[in-house]
Amino acid sequence: MSTDRLESAVQKLKDIGIRMTPQRYAILSFLMDTLSHPTADEIYKELEPQFPSMSVATVYNNLKVFKDAGLVRELTYGDSSSRFDGNTEDHYHCICTSCGKIVDFDYEPLADLEKEAQLSTGFTIATHRLEFYGTCGAC
């Protein structure tokens, strides 16, 4: 992970008046350093040894702060737990239908498709999400 990216995120939080606590820094750093698209519970379990007094609610509350600040994306999939992505650049996901693994797939943003959707429907398109489903190599 780029420390510049993490420090830029920390500065953005400071600029909007969010105080940087050690727990908040650890959660943000973990998210920006992982490719696993973790749930809040997975983040909690990973960081709990370093912060035994931290609660799952602390993780959830901080994820909301990061999401509201545009620093993470929340990936929701029906009834299952939300997953969080520290990569806010345009990219897509491949999702294993067997084990649930999510892998980033970088491809040129589909801006032309957004424009076509807007023209065809009259919607003002703000963003899009594209996912490919299949079975990963481990399954």
| Separation between Cα atoms, residue 95 and residue 69, nearest integer Å | 26
Cβ–Cβ under 8 Å, residues 43 and 27: yes
| CATH number of the domain to which 100 belongs | 3.30.1490.190
Domain count, the chain: 2
Of 71 and 88, the one with more pLDDT: 71
- Per residue in 59-85, pLDDT (tens digit) is 999 999 999 999 999 998 776 789 999
Query: Do 80 and 93 form a contact (C-beta atoms < 8 A)?
Result: no
Is the predicted pLDDT of residue 94 greater than 60, yes or no? yes
pTM: predicted TM-score of the whole model, two decimal places: 0.82
Both tokens assigned to 89: 């650049």
For 81, the domain range is 3-85
Using the predicted structure, report yes or no on whether residue 2 has a pLDDT greater than 80: no
pLDDT at residue 27 greater than cutoff 60: yes
C-alpha span between 127 and 26 (Å, rounded): 29
Task: For residue 12, tell me if it sits in a domain.
Answer: yes
- In this structure, are 73 and 21 located in the same domain? yes
CATH of the domain at 68: 1.10.10.10
Average per-residue pLDDT for the chain = 91
Residue 139 counted as domain residue: no
Same domain (yes/no): 101, 54: no
User: 31: which 2 tokens?
Assistant: 């998210």
Task: Count Cβ atoms below 10 Å from residue 15 Cβ, excluding itself.
Answer: 9
